[in-house]
Amino acid sequence: MCGFVALWNIGDEALAQKMVTKIAHRGPDAVEVVRGRGAPVVMAHCRLSIIGPEDGRQPIYDAGDLLVANGEIYNHADLRAILGESAFETESDSESILHLFRAGELRWVSRLDGMFAFVLATKTRIIAARDPLGIKPLYMARIGEGLAFASELKAFDGVAVDAVESIGPGMLYDSRDGLRQWYRTPHGAAEEEPGLDIEAVAGELRLVLEEAVAKWMLADVEVGSFLSGGLDSSIIAALAARLSPRPLKTFAVGTEGSADLRAAREVARHIGADHYEDSFTPEDVARVLPHVIYHLESADVDLVRSAVPTHFAARLARRHVKAVLTGEGADELFAGYTYHHAYVDHPRELADELTRSLNAMHNINLQRVDRVTMAESLEARTPFLDRDLIDFAQSIPATLKMRRTDPAARESTGETTEKWILRKAVADLLPESLVWRKKAQFDEGSGLVAALDEALRIVTGSSAPLDRAAEGALYERLLREAYETPERILAQAGTWESAERVTAG
């Protein structure tokens, strides 16, 4: 996991150094600034060494081409075997991007399996691309006749640019051919076909889940797991614990005595994890709010509320590991949000809504996970968003995800059960009381709601709780105080409320 800056037709190494310094938290292990030999490019890279820690320095330079990349290519070993091991000079997974490009296939980028953003420069072209759902960030700006790329918006703060825009999920920009979408999320299935073998679907889903977790644990360093005590993170942790050569390190946070901490301890005992936890107070929340909002690059109320416990979890985990698995994506794939219950009798609309929300994750939940963990120099991995798992999950009918159920039945959480097929697929992994219990939002289960109310009173000096509008205004003020050019940040920020949901019925 890393951060980078690339300047095309802007021969300013000092500017590249200035920009990469603002995102140096993404990679504290090494910082490099390199001018291309024969190519009009300057690249800067800050590295968090996960794969090939001894010889994986970037930018990667080879025969006139220069590459900077952020993320992980999980099929890099297969690509090495196909492309020829003799072509590679390092153990870095990122080097496979460069040699795959040189192979000359028209859709070469589609061969990359993982979470990534990269910029590749030749003597005549610059190419930038992003993974299918935008797990890793990538921004582009115009500076005069040149182009500037960076991993975070804050790299452009105070820099005179004509415009800043996000390169979207599954998109590739080529200075020769323009912008194209190389990946489209498969559309979700709605209703069950007659005779569908539900047990077989659940069994296959389990296998795909296991493969995804195994793939996303690939690293030359120890990988841990966030463990909120909820279903999604518990599934990932339970599968990872079976694959780990040592007791899996798990991390949970909350207020003292919160439901999340209690549930996480129960799961950790069940899977035999090496468990760590930390509690936070309203005073802690008040202290970290400016830091969280600055790194989040958003003042959206819901994002900030979920980012605060993520910050404490990331800070705890970074004391012990460099990378963690998280449960993000399960709600979007398997209908896990409270509002999804309204779609129980409208499977076509539910399938459409899940597809829409998957495509919107990049500047909402995925932005939170990336920015807040990377602020602590921690790599977060999201196995539920594995490409093969997305494809399979989208083929599962929505009627198996949000399902009408008998509240008295064992395989039920009430009259309607969210993530029903996912629960069924992992029922043997975890205590039944967890698999079939009702879901709590992360900020609710962690005790954040009450702590945040008190923290906001501390920050503002108010004796009364802040309403939502006042809370949002405070977050925006804190963001504006943190940046020289805050409008640029606010213009790019996604919000939960701005997303136009598919109407149910």
Report residue 311: phi and psi, to 5°.
Answer: -60, -50
Burial environment of residue 194 by CB neighbours within 10 A (0 to 12, 13 to 18, 19 or more): exposed
Q: Is 2 in the active site?
A: yes
Which one is catalytic: 2, 126, 231, 321?
2
Q: Are 309 and 315 in contact (CB under 8 A)?
A: no
Q: For residues 180 and 108, what is the distance between their CA atoms, to the nearest angstrom? A: 13
User: Is residue 30 helix, strand or coil?
Assistant: strand
Q: How many CB atoms lie within 10 A of CB 111?
A: 17
Q: If phi over 0 gives left and psi between -120 and 50 gives alpha, with beta otherwise, what is residue 142?
A: beta
Q: Spell out the residues 6+ positions from residue 81 whose beta carbon is closer than 8 angstroms to its own.
A: none
Nearest 5°: phi and psi at 279?
Answer: -115, 150
Helix H segments across 217-300? 231-243, 259-271, 282-296
Asked whether 387 and 394 are in contact (CB, 8 A), the reply is no
Of the candidates 131, 151, 139, which has an alpha carbon nearest to the alpha carbon of residue 26? 151
Q: By three-state DSSP, how is residue 473 classified?
A: helix
Q: H-helix or E-strand containing 21?
A: helix 13-21
SS3 68: strand
- Whole-angstrom distance, CA of residue 12 vs CA of residue 473: 37
- Is-contact 364 494, C-beta < 8 A? yes
Count helices and strands in the chain by DSSP H and E runs:
18, 19
**Phi and psi of 53, rounded to 5°?**
-65, -25
59 preceded by cis ω (within 30°)?
Answer: yes
Which amino acid belongs to residue 444?
A: E
419: left (phi over 0), alpha (psi -120 to 50) or beta: left
d(CA 117, CA 279): 34
> Are 455 and 441 a contacting pair, CB within 8 Å?
no
Q: Do residues 110 and 182 lie in contact, with contact meaning Cβ atoms separated by under 8 Å? A: yes
248 Cβ neighbours under 8 A, 6+ residues apart: 224, 225, 237, 240, 241, 271, 272, 273, 274
Catalytic residues: 2
